[in-house]
Structure formats: structure tokens, C-alpha cells
Chain A
Amino acid sequence: MTLPSCPLPLPDSLDEDALVTLAHGGGGRLMRRLIEDVFAAEFDNQWMREGHDGAILEALPGRPVLTTDSFVVSPLFFPGGDIGELAVCGTVNDLAMCGATPRYLTTGFVIEEGFSIADLRRVVRSMARAAASAGVQIVTGDTKVVERGKADGLFINTAGLGFVRDGEETRPSRVEVGDAILVSGDVGRHGVAVLAAREGLGLETDLLSDCAPVAGAARALIDAGIEVHCMRDLTRGGLATALVELATSVDLCLSIDETKVPVIGAVRGAAELLGLDPLYVANEGRFVAIVRGADAERCLEVLASEAQAASRDALTPFAPALIGEVRQAPAGRVLATTTTGAERLLGMLSGEQLPRIC
């Protein structure tokens, strides 16, 4: 994050009722105030304090793993999270899925003119909180302000750097026939929580998004000596889309029993009402683990103890489950055994799931 070195006196502290204006993106005193008051104050660490053009980092043992993601969500604040928490968890989770320990994040903000400073501060605070809980440092960043109507309030990009120890890389090429497929918790909470928070749906629910870092659980599996072959965090497109992507990359058949996939009542009810398939509803704090078949039971135990530690919604249990196995054929496909015992194909949706007419 670049701080201008102009010696002019700074304007008074930012008013909580203030709005972001184009001047905040202009590179002058207002921008400096915004960066110091909102960003640097929350992301306080040696690199932020240095205020250099980039962060000069320390190498950690293992190989570097790099990822990036951009976050656009409406509404920005939803039950159980906000765009800031998503922006940290999403990128941390992507690193964790490679077997890496996440260490550093960068962040870029695109803010729409007129956005409230108080909301911006809320988002930045929740990023700082999520980063602390995931054990990562936000080391550098960038801010741009665009004219009203050119962005939906706020867009955030994060890039993440982590390190993976030799032999612990989890990737599609390690998946083998006979591997077990597990999911770290019940699916569909984030998508339904966001839908319910949108204006006009009239869907009342106490449901919270599952938004959370999964790096701890992923690490726990590896540290327990479980032979983890591949992991994939569930995001847009849900469990089904993650499995379809994996099946395509490993060119084997992922066979699941859809009755074993944990879905809590509130999610099922909303999905039934709206005509959505919970397997395709978004998640932000769940992942699929593909492990050596013989390790399935132990993997389930570790996931269960991690889930218990992470559960914040006392109303409903948050259950990991063994949902299927890897087979040879039909290669590149995901088959789901339905409640009737018949198998159906899980494919990729062509776009977003759209609620039906009747």
C-alpha cells in the first residue's frame, strides 16, 4: 500500500457519517487519511507500517503456492458474514486446498463513490478478524474509487501466498480409484443465507452463512497423517460443480450417494420452495476431501472434531460425511445415487440456478 509522503497536515479524522468520494481515490490527502485511518489501522503489521510500494516477505519452508480471487456479492452484509470475511476466507481456503499453509494476502479495493465510510470500516475490520483467525497477514493493498453506478458498492480482490511442504501437495493428479470422498460439513448455507437476505424474497430464516476459513481443518487432516490426495473448497456452483470439475480433471468417476450429503432443514426447505438443488447452492466454508479409501473413517473423525470446534450456529449440527468413492468408469463423470436407488448424472450448470415459475 503506497502512502504519499507529502508533509501537508492531515485533515481531521474521518467522520463515521462520511461517504467515500472520488477525492478519496485521487492520491491526495483524503486518500492518505482513508488508508491510514481505515486500512492501515486495521491491518496493522510490519509491512503496512513500512508503507512501501510492495511487501518484502520472508520465505518459509516448502514451495510457494499462489492464488487470487475477486469478490462481488449482493448484499455486501449478509447473515453470518460480509464481503470482507468472504474475501479473506475464499483466498485462504484456495491455498489450503493445495495442502499449503496460508501466510500472506494482498488486497485491492474498488469502491463506488458514495459508499459509506462506516460500512467500509466494518468490512475492513471483518477482513482483519478473518485474517487473524486464519493466521495470515494482509501485507499490501490498493484502493480505487470509481464513479457512482460503475460498481455495486464495493468489489474486493485478494491474492494469497502460502507454502506447502514436500510430499503434502494435494492435487487432482493424486486421486486414485478406491479413494473415499468426504465433505467437511452440511452444504448450501451460504447460498440460502444470501438469497434470504436479498430484498423481495420474503424468506425468513435464522440461517447464517457458513463463511469460514477451512485451512485449520485441511491442515488437521494432513497433520493426522491421513493420505489426502485432493481437496476442493465449495463455492459458487456448490458441491456438484466442485465434483464435476474434479471428475473432469482426474478423468475418473466420482460416485456419490446423494442421500448421504448433509443438508440442514432450513436449507432444504428454502431449496424446495425455490426449486433449487442444494447440491448446486453456494458454500463458503466447506470443502471436499478425497483421501485414500483406508483413511476414510479417520478422516471423518478429524473432520468431525474440527467441525465441532468451528461450529458457531448452535441451532443445527454441522456434520461432515463420507459421501462416496472414486471409481474407474464412466471416466470424467459424477454419478449420484438418488433416494430411489437410481443413479443420476451431476453436470455443470450452464449459468446460475434460477428459481422456477411454479
Chain B
Amino acid sequence: MSLEHVDEYRDRKAIGALVHAIEREATKPWTLMEVCGGQTHSIVRYGLDQLLPDTIELVHGPGCPVCVTPIGMIDRALELAARPEVIFCTFGDMLRVPGSSEDLYHVKARGGDVRIVYSPLDAVELAATEPAREVVFFAIGFETTAPANAMAVAMAEKRGLGNFSILASHVLVPPAIEALLSAPDNRVQGFLAAGHVCAVMGSAEYEPLARRYRVPIVITGFEPLELLSGILACVRQLEAGEAKVDNAYARFVRSAGNPHAIAMLRRVFEVAPQTWRGLGEIPASGLILRSAFARFDATKRFSSDIGVVPEDPECQSGDILRGRLKPAACTAFGTRCTPENPLGAPMVSNEGACAAYFRYRGLTPTT
């Protein structure tokens, strides 16, 4: 990775110039939503929301895969991880996410074989080297992680591994944007779409949304300069009364996306209704394994008594994920809900909005 390249996207002068341009061009108040939790963290970490003029309000979207995974699915993961024959593989992010009674750290402490992996292919490799154990990979994420998870399943099939399965909780961005836009109390006027999701899926699937709901959707990156460029592009459209898909992340995103990744994803997964934490069930918003790959589905491989699990009633993650509530305005923020004792996933995920506010701003204003 060329780091000079990264530095260009954090240059103080260039950032100042963009903030100034946004200030000049925004003649009235606009409410924009950055969809992805990675963008939220960048905004809060670099204080971009504090640099912007009062006319621009940023609300934080549902794009944190850890946060939107329903609590019942976390409980299912905990149950699997506790089984003696199972090696439960997960990305590090999931360890601290609370289920209804505990988290994966606790299951591990009581003897569950929980391992952090950096790629789903590592879990496939583990299944090959541990034929007497059952290896389950916790496949969560948006369109960004789905192709690699699909590849893991395809590899396991090719290698004839009978002891590998995935616990899949995959979600898709466009249906979530549509769910937000069609809510009667929606106040989001423009979207900063997640650049990495579009690098995989392309930008074309956002066109119908922009047209139908008359809303600008700007594909945006994660560095300070990219975020501000996305905001400026969005403001320009709003001021001009336009509503189209614009690509402010052209260094990575092509209209058709990455055809190889999409083909792999479609070969293994099919679109299905999906329950989102805080947002409820959204039609055609998730990915499940196709029937040809059903034997790699951990929910089919292992029986479970876990049914529908209610969320903690005090956790307002639904309003947080819909952008209706800022983390610091939640009555439990920093008191009954902290990273050590979270009520919900947004407080512990690396992409959670509550975690971003707690980590970078603390409990009181810092300046």
C-alpha cells in the first residue's frame, strides 16, 4: 500500500478547501446520511462533522454489519461456539457483541473453541487440517464480504470437505436504503453510498432508487477528502434540484462492479428476506445459501431451539441505525451502555456509531 497515496486523502489544506466549497454552495439546510459505519468512524475520528457548516447535518446509517445482525443470530452463534465438536471461526469484530445473555468472549472463556480468522478461506483450511472437528464460520457482512464467503463455500465443496459450514447473516445495502426512504418520517435528503460495497456490486443498482425517491446518491470513499468530496457532490445535486447516482469514488468503482465477485456471490447465494436488528424484516435484503449448497449451512447442520429473541428494550439501536437518534442523545449512552457493558452491538462494533462517539468524543464535549 502506498501511504503517500493515503496521505493525499488526509491533507489539511485540501480538506479546508473542500469544507470552504461546501460552505459556499450549501445555501439551505440539508440532511445527508452516510450509509456505512466505516464512513461514520472516519467522520467522527477526523471531526468532519464539526468542520462542516451548520447547514449540513450528517446522520449515521445502518451500514454496520455487526450492528444489524439480529440478536437471535448472535445467540445461535454462541450456541454453536459452545458445542464441543465445533471450532467456531469469526472475524474479531464479533467477539464482544452481546447476545441475550453473553458474548463469544465468555463462551471462549468457558472452553468454547472460538478462533479469530482474517479470511473465511483460513476457516476452510482449518476444516481440512481438523477433519475430526466441525468448523463453522460466522459469515456476516454486506456485499463486501459476501463474495469471499461464497468463495469459501465453493472451495469447501471443491475439496470435498464435509466438516465445514457457515452461519450466514448477509445483508444488502440497496433494500435498506429503500426501507429508510419509504418510511413516512424519513428526513434524509441525500445519501453517501458505501464505496467498497459499490466496488463489488457497481453503481447501477442505485439508479432506480435515485429516480423513484428523487434522492441524490453519491458513491463515496472513506478518507476525509473522499467523504468531503462526496458531501460536496451531494450538496451540488440538492442545490440544483437533481437526483441521480454520482460516483465520487471513481478510483475503485465501475458501474458494473466486479463481475467475478458478483458471479461467485450469485453462484453460492440467493436473495431472501432478512431480519435486521433495529429495522425489522426487509424483503429481499439478505443472502442465503442456495439449496445446492445447503449442506454448508450451519443452521441446517445443527439443530437449535432458539426462536425469535427480543432485543434489549432499553437499547435504541433501531433509531440509531435509522439515523433518527444520535448516539450521545441516547439516555443509556455512556451510563448503562458502555463498551465494557454494551446494551447493543453499535457500542462495540468497529463500525458502530455509538462506538465511534464513545471512542472519539467520550461523554462530554471535548472542546
Contact = CB atoms under 8 A, between A and B. Distances in A.
Contacts of A168: none
Contacts of B142: 358
A351 B51 contact: no
Interface string B341-367: 000000010110000001111101011
A343 B118 contact: no
Interface stretch (A22-30, A110-118, A332-340): A332-340
B122 interface: yes
Interface in B1-50: 1, 3, 6, 10-12, 15-16, 38, 44-48, 50
Contact of A344 (B93, B140, B338, B360): B360
A342 B339 contact: no
A272 interface: yes
A340 B362 contact: no
B331 to A, nearest CB: 21
A340 B366 contact: no
Contact of A340 (B105, B196, B224, B360): B224
A354 B45 contact: no
Contacts of A355: 91-93, 116, 118
Contacts of B350: 275, 354, 356-357
A151 interface: no
A347 interface: yes
Interface string A237-274: 00000000000000000000000000001001100111
Interface string A72-107: 000000000000000000000000000000000000
Contacts of A202: 118-119
A269 B5 CA distance: 11
Contacts of B65: 357-358
B362 A358 contact: no
Interface residues of A, number: 30
Contact of B93 (A273, A349, A356): A356
B60 interface: no
Interface in A159-184: none
Contact of A341 (B44, B51, B66, B96): B51
Contacts of B95: 354
Contacts of B62: none
B50 A342 contact: yes
B358 A338 contact: no
B185 interface: no
Contacts of B3: 265, 268-269, 272
Contacts of A268: 3, 6
B366 A338 contact: no
Nearest to B11: A339
B144 interface: yes
A340 B6 contact: no
A67 B126 CA distance: 41
A200 B47 contact: no
A357 B66 contact: yes
A201 B115 CA distance: 13
B117 interface: yes
B66 A347 contact: no
A330 interface: yes
B122 A338 contact: no
A350 B6 contact: no
B323 interface: no
A340 B15 contact: yes
A357 B140 contact: yes
A210 B15 CA distance: 34
B361 A356 contact: no
A351 B96 contact: yes
A341 B50 CA distance: 10
A350 B91 CA distance: 18
Nearest to A338: B46
B145 interface: yes
Contact of A357 (B6, B145, B360, B366): B145
B286 interface: no
A338 B1 contact: no
Contacts of B305: none
Contact of A350 (B119, B340, B362): B340
A356 B91 contact: yes
B141 interface: yes
Given A341-B12, A347-B358, A347-B362, A354 B46 contact: no
B117 A200 contact: yes
A54 B139 CA distance: 56
A281 B359 CA distance: 16
A345 B65 CA distance: 25
Contact of B362 (A345, A351, A357): A345
A200 B91 CA distance: 13
Contacts of A344: 44-47, 360-361, 366
A201 B118 CA distance: 6
Nearest to B140: A357
Nearest to B49: A342
A358 B47 contact: no
A273 B144 CA distance: 15
B93 A340 contact: no
B1 A272 contact: yes
Contacts of B339: 349-350
A217 B171 CA distance: 53
A357 B144 CA distance: 9
Nearest to B143: A358
14 contacts: A200-B118, A333-B366, A341-B47, A344-B44, A344-B46, A344-B366, A347-B359, A350-B96, A350-B340, A354-B350, A356-B351, A358-B65, A358-B144, A358-B196
Q: Which 8 A-B pairs have the closest CB atoms?
A: A342-B47, A354-B92, A350-B339, A356-B350, A339-B10, A358-B144, A344-B360, A269-B1
